C-alpha cells in the first residue's frame, strides 16, 4: 500500500500531544523493554534513530551506565526539539539525521536502537543497511514495530470509527503505516538484503494500554499522530467531530469510564 508523504509529518501540535498522550498510553512499556534489553550488553556508544520525542532516549539515559554515550537522532526537527526541551537524566547528543543516510562513520557504534520507527522508513533495506554500516563487529541492531492492528485495540477501534465517518475515503494511516510492518518473514528478508548475515531474534511482546476515559486515546490518535493530517486533508472543520466519533467508538467497546485494551509489538534483535 502506497504511503502518502503526510504519514511522516510530525509537526505543529503533534509532538506535544504525541508525548503527553501516546507515550504513557502505548509507548512507555516498550521503551523500558528496549532499554532493559540493552543493559545486559557491553556498550560504549549507542545510536538511536527515529527517536521521536525521546521516550527511549530517556529510558536509556536512566538505565545504561553513564560511561555509555547516547546519540539520539530523528528526521523531524520539531520532535527532536520537543525531546531536547524535556531533557534527560544525563547529557545526550541530539542530532537531526535521516535513517537512510546516517552522518556517522563506519563501525562507530556498539548498538543502534529504534522504537516504532522502522515502519516509517520509505526504504527499509537501505535504512537497515545504514544501521549495519555504523555498527561495530558484533554490535546489535535492536528495534521494535507494532504488530498487526487487530492486536492493538484502541488503534483498531479508532480506524473503524473513522471509516464510518469517511466511508468513501477512509483515513487508514494507523492500519497502513504504524501497523503495516509486522510480518516476520518480511523483516528477516529486509535484514538479510541489508547485509545482516546472522539470524535475527524476533519476539512478540504484549502489554495493556490504559486511559482515564475513552477521550484520551481518541485525542491521542486523532491529534497526536499523522492521522491528524489525513483527517484535516479531508475536511479540517471536522477534526473535533472525528475525535468525538473515535471517542464514542472506544466507549461503545470498552465503556464510558476508565478504559483498557490490548497492545502488542514485535521486538527484533540482530547482530552485525
Q: In order of start, what are the domains of the chain with their CATH numbers?
A: 5-271 (3.40.50.150)
CA angle 75, 77, 82 (to 5 degrees): 125
Coil, helix or strand for 115? strand
pLDDT of residue 156: 98
3-state secondary structure of 261: strand
pLDDT value at residue 13: 72
The tens digit of pLDDT for each residue in 248-265 reads 999 999 999 999 999 999
pLDDT of residue 18: 85
Single pTM value for the model: 0.93
So what's the pLDDT on residue 10? 66
Give the other-Cβ count within 10 Å of 13's Cβ: 11
Give the SS3 label for residue 102: coil
Q: Is the dihedral of CA 14, 19, 22, 28 positive or negative?
A: positive
SS3 233: helix
Rounded CA separation 58/48 (Å) = 11
Contact in structure between 16 and 103 (CB atoms under 8 Å): no
Give me the tens of pLDDT residue by residue for the chain, a chain 272 residues long.
457 766 555 656 788 888 899 999 999 999 999 999 999 999 999 999 999 999 999 999 999 999 999 999 999 999 999 999 999 999 999 999 999 999 999 999 999 999 999 999 999 999 999 999 999 999 999 999 999 999 999 999 999 999 999 999 999 999 999 999 999 999 999 999 999 999 999 999 999 999 999 999 999 999 999 999 999 999 999 999 999 999 999 999 999 999 999 999 999 999 99
Can you give the pLDDT at residue 15? 82
Amino acid at each position: 500500500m502506497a504511503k502518502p508523504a503526510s504519514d511522516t509529518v510530525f509537526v505543529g501540535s503533534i509532538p506535544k500531544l504525541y508525548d503527553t498522550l501516546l507515550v504513557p498510553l502505548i509507548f512507555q512499556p516498550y521503551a523500558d523493554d528496549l532499554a532493559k534489553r540493552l543493559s545486559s550488553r557491553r556498550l560504549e556508544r549507542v545510536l538511536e534513530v527515529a527517536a521521536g520525542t525521546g521516550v527511549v532516549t530517556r529510558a536509556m539515559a536512566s538505565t545504561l551506565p553513564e560511561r555509555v554515550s547516547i546519540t539520539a537522532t530523528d528526521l523531524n526537527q520539531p520532535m527532536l526539539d520537543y525531546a531536547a526541551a524535556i531533557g534527560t537524566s544525563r547529557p545526550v547528543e541530539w542530532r537531526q539525521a535521516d535513517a537512510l543516510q546516517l552522518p556517522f562513520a563506519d563501525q562507530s557504534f556498539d548498538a543502534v536502537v529504534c522504537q516504532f520507527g522502522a515502519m516509517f522508513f520509505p526504504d527499509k533495506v537501505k535504512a537497515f543497511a545504514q544501521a549495519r554500516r555504523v555498527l561495530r563487529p558484533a554490535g546489535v541492531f535492536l528495534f521494535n514495530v507494532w504488530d498487526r492492528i487487530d492486536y492493538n485495540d484502541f488503534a483498531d477501534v479508532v480506524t473503524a470509527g473513522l471509516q464510518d465517518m469517511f466511508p468513501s475515503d477512509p483515513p487508514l494511516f494507523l492500519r497502513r503505516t504504524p501497523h503495516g510492518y509486522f510480518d516476520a518473514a518480511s523483516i528477516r528478508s529486509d535484514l538479510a538484503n541489508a547485509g545482516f548475515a546472522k539470524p535475527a531474534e524476533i519476539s512478540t511482546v504484549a502489554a495493556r494500554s490504559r486511559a482515564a476515559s475513552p477521550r484520551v486515546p481518541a485525542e491521542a490518535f486523532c491529534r497526536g499522530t499523522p492521522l491528524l493530517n489525513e483527517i484535516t486533508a479531508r475536511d479540517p472543520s471536522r477534526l473535533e467531530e472525528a475525535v468525538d466519533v473515535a471517542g464514542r467508538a472506544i466507549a461503545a467497546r470498552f465503556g464510558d469510564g476508565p478504559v483498557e485494551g490490548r497492545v502488542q509489538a514485535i521486538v527484533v534483535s540482530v547482530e552485525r
